Chains A and B, each alone.
Chain A
Amino acid sequence: MAKVVILGAGIAGHTAAAHLRRQLSKEHEVLVVSPNRNYQWVPSNIWIGIGRMEPKDVIFPLEPLYKKKGIGYKQAKVSSFHPEGSDTEHKPFVRVEYVFGEQKGIQEDITYDYLINATGPKLAFDLTENLLPGTNKTYSVCTYDHAAHAWSGLKDLIGKLKNTNTTARILIGTGHPKATCQGAAFEYILNVEQELRRNKVREQVELTWISNEYKLGDFGMDGMLMRVSGKPMKSDELVEMVFADRGIKWILGAGVTKVEEGKAFYENLDGEFKTEEFDFAMLIPAFSGHGFKAYDKANKDITEKLFKGFMIVDADYSSKPYEDWTVQDWPETYQNPTYQNIFAPGIAFAPPHSISKPRKSKNGTDIFPSPPRTGMPSGITAKLVADNIIDSITTGSESRKHKGSLGNMGAACIASSGYGLLQGSGISITTFPIAPDYKKYPESGGRDLNKTIGALGLAGHWVKLSLHYAFIYKAKMKPFWWLIPE
């Protein structure tokens, strides 16, 4: 009998738990430890942020589902890792602290045979001075409650604009020099623009995109060359075309370092320190590791063996210049090299480096996007980790045959650019591979042009809406859920 413990119940953790439970017999234990009560389908948060969906549309409680499916669940947060056990416990364990109910505050040591760390990122608002959702007129759409709060702020502003003849400034983008998740901010600015038009106040608003990207459409993926209507087009040209069509201004190479009431302070790549004023802002924070500690059997600190901010896996972390980066640097099995029964899929693994070219301002400040690992790659990497663990348990020998490097993995990014069954629109992008392979595809920006395409239009909205319903169906583990690919 084996015990698999999964830390986190987001896209990666929940996907891993679902596949493990479906394929392992009941004699094996699958246990999820998460401080969150609900599963949330994060990609739809932007629609909560414009009031077109409610939090209840994107979440459901985890405990009843896990009880029904035979998955153990503890509403707790991990506080330390003990991969060698301790002087009193011979098995490896994690120390967790309950965060809800009668057991709140109580600590427990949970042993495991296999551990999946799917704790995702810490939303590091604290790395940008005064950046806190709901204060200083700044908001976030990173969680469903942040997004609901953002809609409340936006609704108030729209109401004010409707009742008066005043003007307003809206600023949307990244809130840290090394923030990632530009895609979510990109979706949000386009959805906000459509809602302003729908409410007939668009003419009163100056809408500005602010980002740490060197060029529009970088998305933390070094941009991409894609086929649009059969012709090659760069992602910066595509986004510039959309922004120009929507009357959206942009500020690039901007590292936001501080926020005050209605003001964002940023440094640009020219080394200038500037300020942008706003009446409403949605700024994506930096993502960081959770600051977990790890200890060996003698209680000696071994955090550096497990963590490098995020969790260390089978990547090549040697320091080398951008020109020497290859797809071989990226992990394939998401296994910790020191403790081989520990895995970190999704956002929890430490990337070997960024995907976008690193750039510094004239003052030496790093200003470039961190690599995105959200959504589809999180699900895919979680499933392959689960598959390797299932094979290892069922065959009795350690299996690592399931592999999935970002350098050999495709992804679809369906960016909503407006909500509505007939009035909606979306920008659909498929890309292969996620991390560009400049050696294999030297003529097309490191990507396969037959698999890297872009399309604009109403169909994109329908695809995103279909994915919303399909993935919530899948997450609820309804009949044949496993036929829906990650």
Chain B
Amino acid sequence: MAKKISRFEKFVMKNPFIQFYMFLYLNVKILSVVAHGHGGTR
């Protein structure tokens, strides 16, 4: 049985003010994951 997205979760997902902070967080997170570097494994 799939988890349902609650009405509150939908409100958060669509609220532009909350999502603005999420936008900033995501940009920082993406930069930290991607631009943090990469390398070999051997």
Contacts and interface: CB of A to CB of B under 8 A. Distances in A.
Contacts of A430: 29-30, 33-34
Interface string B7-30: 001001111100110110111011
B39 to A, nearest CB: 5
Contacts of B35: 485
Contacts, number: 101
Interface string A225-261: 0000000000001001111110000000000000000
Contacts of A437: 41
Interface stretch (A7-15, A280-288, A303-311, A407-415): A407-415
Contacts of B12: 457
A411 B34 contact: yes
Given A327-B41, A404-B39, A459-B23, A422 B34 contact: no
Contacts of B4: 241, 244-245
Q: Name which of B26, B29, B39 has the most chain A CB atoms within 10 A of its CB.
A: B26
Nearest to A383: B38
B38 to A, nearest CB: 4
Contacts of A188: none
A405 B39 contact: yes
B34 A405 contact: no
A459 B5 contact: no
Interface residues of B, number: 30
Nearest to B21: A459
Nearest to A242: B5
Contacts of A244: 2, 4
A350 to B, nearest CB: 18
Interface in A441-486: 451, 453, 455-460, 462-463, 466, 485-486
Nearest to B22: A459
A412 B25 CA distance: 13
Contacts of B15: 458
B19 A462 contact: yes
Contact of B40 (A408, A456, A460, A486): A408
A43 to B, nearest CB: 14
Contact of B16 (A380, A412, A432, A458): A458
Given A241-B5, A245-B4, A485-B35, A458 B14 contact: yes
A384 B27 CA distance: 23
Given A459-B20, A463-B26, A408 B33 contact: no
Nearest to A453: B29
15 contacts: A241-B4, A376-B34, A380-B34, A405-B39, A405-B41, A408-B40, A410-B33, A410-B38, A425-B14, A430-B34, A431-B33, A457-B14, A457-B19, A459-B26, A486-B34
Given A404-B39, A458-B15, A459-B25, 16 more contacts: A240-B3, A241-B4, A328-B41, A332-B41, A405-B38, A408-B38, A412-B33, A425-B14, A428-B26, A430-B33, A430-B34, A457-B19, A459-B19, A459-B22, A463-B23, A463-B30
Interface of B: 2-5, 9, 12-16, 19-20, 22-23, 25-27, 29-36, 38-42
